[in-house]
């Protein structure tokens, strides 16, 4: 029977040959997951031998990674803001930038009496669950068009023992009733062209409908901005994660619906988050001066 160190070395070579940059780290993380060790325990057991049935399970995991499946789908979970979030191919893997959005919201609004929060396009439930944890008195509603994503999100609520969140199928706000102090969304915002250039891990394995939007990546953002007004409390805030080249177009579009627009960068210095406040009355498309609509909007 081979030792763990021998298996790790072989797996590292295999993953490198498949173009995986962090080959050693990925092999160690997969082995730690399989053996239920943390990485320190793994290092302490490197000379142990591996039993045959575990070896074949590990080879299967490494071959999945070799085909560029994201590590997080193979391991089946990610840490998001201190929560263990199960992920599968029905949901986008929550990103670090999205944790930054949650951090900003907590630092800005953490002391306010927030009673209701709406997470639009919840996917794995990451944003809604992190906010449900940090605003335990708030009622959180999390929606998505994908029934399968909502099943995963629901499991994540149970997994993290979160009772102040509920889930619903909705095409953005279509089935949503009620007024919310805060509406948050990380909607699809990539252009088709950007999607063509993403790494295989994303292109082949993550749900395209969670990533790409029409109208140069802006269609879903515009839909949300133009329809959230009627569901937002006076002084409520709409917070969005966006693409890094979209803020000018968003600012121009949003002035039809909100009095205050704020663009914020992520930690890498890219325009990434938009905060909208002071919603004017909910406007029908006929109220809007056509000249303010972007030409390509449909």
Can residue 209 be called a binding residue for ligand SAM (CB under 6 A)?
Answer: yes
Give dist(CA 216, CA 213) in Å, integer: 7
Q: Are strands 180-185 and 232-241 parallel, antiparallel or unpaired?
A: parallel
Residue from 58, 73, 109, 172 touching ligand SAM (CB under 6 A): that is 172
**Is the CB of 8 or the CB of 272 nearer to ligand SAM?**
272
Q: Are strands 116-120 and 83-86 parallel, antiparallel or unpaired?
A: unpaired
Can residue 187 be called a binding residue for ligand SAM (CB under 6 A)?
Answer: yes
Helices (H) and strands (E) in the chain, counts: 13, 9
Give dist(CA 4, CA 276) in Å, integer: 53
Provide the H-helix boundaries in 183-235. 192-196, 200-205, 214-217, 219-227
Residues in Cβ contact with 22 at an 8 Å cutoff, skipping those fewer than 6 apart: none
Binders in 74-93 for ligand SAM, by CB under 6 A: 92
Which residue from 105, 134, 232, 120 is spatially nearest to 167, judged by alpha carbons?
120
Can residue 152 be called a binding residue for ligand SAM (CB under 6 A)?
Answer: no
Which of 11-19, 44-52, 138-146, 155-163 is the region at the interface with ligand SAM (rule: CB under 6 A)? 138-146
Can residue 191 be called a binding residue for ligand SAM (CB under 6 A)?
Answer: no
Residue from 30, 42, 86, 123 touching ligand SAM (CB under 6 A): that is 123
The binding track of 211-240 with respect to ligand SAM, each residue x by CB under 6 A or -, is: ---------x--------------------
Can residue 144 be called a binding residue for ligand SAM (CB under 6 A)?
Answer: yes
Can residue 146 be called a binding residue for ligand SAM (CB under 6 A)?
Answer: yes
Give dist(CA 163, CA 100) in Å, integer: 24
**Is the CB of 45 or the CB of 95 nearer to ligand SAM?**
95
Give dist(CA 95, CA 127) in Å, integer: 10
Can residue 116 be called a binding residue for ligand SAM (CB under 6 A)?
Answer: no
Can residue 246 be called a binding residue for ligand SAM (CB under 6 A)?
Answer: no
Which residue from 153, 151, 210, 214 is spatially nearest to 185, judged by alpha carbons?
210
Can residue 129 be called a binding residue for ligand SAM (CB under 6 A)?
Answer: no
Which of 5-13, 108-116, 181-189, 281-289 is the region at the interface with ligand SAM (rule: CB under 6 A)? 181-189
Interface with ligand SAM (CB under 6 A)? 92, 94, 98, 121-124, 126-127, 143-146, 149, 171-172, 186-188, 209-210, 220
């Amino acid at each position: 029977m081979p030792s763990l160190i021998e298996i790790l070395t072989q797996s590292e070579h295999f993953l490198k040959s498949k173009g995986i940059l962090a080959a050693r780290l990925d092999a160690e993380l997969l082995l730690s997951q399989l053996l239920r060790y943390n990485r320190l325990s793994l290092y302490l057991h490197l000379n142990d031998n591996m039993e045959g049935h575990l070896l074949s399970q590990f080879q299967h995991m490494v071959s999945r990674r070799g085909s560029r499946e994201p590590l997080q789908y193979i391991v089946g979970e990610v840490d998001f803001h201190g929560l263990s979030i199960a992920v599968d191919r029905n949901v986008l893997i929550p990103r670090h930038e999205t944790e930054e959005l949650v951090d900003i919201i907590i630092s800005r609004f953490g002391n306010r009496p927030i009673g209701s929060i709406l997470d639009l396009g919840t996917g794995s439930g990451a944003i809604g669950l992190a906010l449900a944890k940090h605003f335990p008195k708030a009622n959180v509603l999390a929606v998505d068009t994908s029934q399968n994503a909502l099943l995963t999100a629901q499991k994540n609520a149970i997994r993290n023992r979160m009772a102040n969140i509920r889930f619903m199928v909705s095409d953005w706000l279509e089935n949503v009733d009620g007024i919310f102090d805060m509406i948050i969304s990380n909607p699809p915002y990539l252009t088709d062209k950007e999607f063509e250039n993403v790494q295989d891990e994303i292109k082949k394995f993550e749900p395209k409908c969670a990533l790409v939007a029409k109208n140069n990546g802006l269609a879903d953002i515009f839909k949300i901005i133009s329809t959230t007004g009627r569901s937002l409390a006076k002084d409520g805030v709409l917070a969005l994660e966006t693409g890094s080249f979209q803020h000018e177009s968003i600012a121009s579009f949003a002035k039809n619906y909100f009095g205050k627009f704020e663009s914020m960068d992520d930690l890498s210095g890219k325009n990434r988050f938009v905060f909208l406040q002071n919603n004017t009355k909910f406007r029908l498309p006929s109220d809007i001066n056509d000249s303010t609509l972007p030409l390509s909007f449909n």
